[in-house]
Amino acid sequence: MIRVAVFEDNKHLREVFQLLLNNTAGYTCAGAYPDCSNVINDITTSPCDVVLMDIEMPGMNGIEATTLVKKNFPELHILIQTVFYEDEYIFNAICAGASGYILKSTTPAGYLEAISEVKAGGSPMTPGIARKVLELFKTNLQPLAPAKDYNLTNQEKKVLQLLVTGKSYKLIAADLFVSIDTIKSHVRNIYSKLHVHSGTEAVSLAIRDKIV
């Protein structure tokens, strides 16, 4: 049984959702609200698994509400449903932590399927939205990808991580409970494996090329 909370200012639509959810096996409407003025309280009072969130609403909009809800209930899945097709809305919704983004042109069956999918850990998106996401992705993100290994040992990785934080050999030695000469030894090996010759170069490479 998937409990769904609905936030939608259009009275008619809100009631349609409520009806649809309560009359379909496996779904139930945990609550239907016309705005997000008490969103945290609403969800606390009437727990749910998935939130169906409209964007255009009086008072707090759906994206701000998503941010807020995610902060208080990080594990909750939020499915954005809207008529907006703009990059900016999509972008902000994703950044706010939305798990899915579907258009209001979706069929009732599509809504139910999308709700099931977000519950299952997926991110249903109207294909057109998905296209926009991919485009945003491509335009905003050239680099990345390598994630090479360089065959660093565990200890070397630790040293490199601490080096990245800007710590001196002495402090790193203290952190790892070993002598400073040991650190020097590790650093030498790291430089050798990374083919660099200074701390700054190593840090630069570590951040850009690796996960550190």
Partner DNA sequence: ATAAGTTTCACCCGAATTCGCTATTTGCAG
Partner DNA sequence: CTGCAAATAGCGAATTCGGGTGAAACTTAT
> Which residues contact DNA by CB under 7 A?
151, 153-156, 168-170, 176, 178-182, 184-189, 191, 197-199
Q: Is residue 180 close enough to count as binding a second copy by CB under 8 A?
A: no
- Residue 123 CB, nearest distance to a second copy (Å)? 4
Query: Which of DNA, a second copy, none sits in contact with 182, Cβ below 5 to 8 A by type?
Result: DNA
Q: Is residue 106 close enough to count as binding a second copy by CB under 8 A?
A: no
Footprint of a second copy on 27-86 (CB under 8 A): none
Residue 164 or 180 having the CB closest to a second copy: 164
Residue 41 or 140 having the CB closest to a second copy: 140
Rounded Cα gap, residues 149 and 210, in angstroms:
8
Residue 1 or 144 having the CB closest to a second copy: 144
Residue 74 or 166 having the CB closest to DNA: 166
Query: Which of a second copy, DNA, none sits in contact with 88, Cβ below 5 to 8 A by type?
Result: a second copy
Residue 60 or 196 having the CB closest to a second copy: 196
Q: Is residue 126 close enough to count as binding a second copy by CB under 8 A?
A: yes
Three-class SS string for the chain? CEEEEEECCCHHHHHHHHHHHHCCCCEEEEEEECCCCCHHHHHHHCCCCEEEEECCCCCCCHHHHHHHHHHHCCCCEEEEEECCCCHHHHHHHHHHCCCEEEECCCCHHHHHHHHHHHHCCCCCECHHHHHHHHHHHHHHCCCCCCCCCCCCCHHHHHHHHHHHCCCCHHHHHHHHCCCHHHHHHHHHHHHHHHCCCCHHHHHHHHHHHCCC
Residue 90, both tokens = 């999509």
* Binding residues vs a second copy (CB under 8 A): 88, 91-92, 94-95, 97-100, 117-118, 120-128, 130-131, 133-134, 136-138, 140-142, 144-145, 147, 163-168, 196-205, 207-208
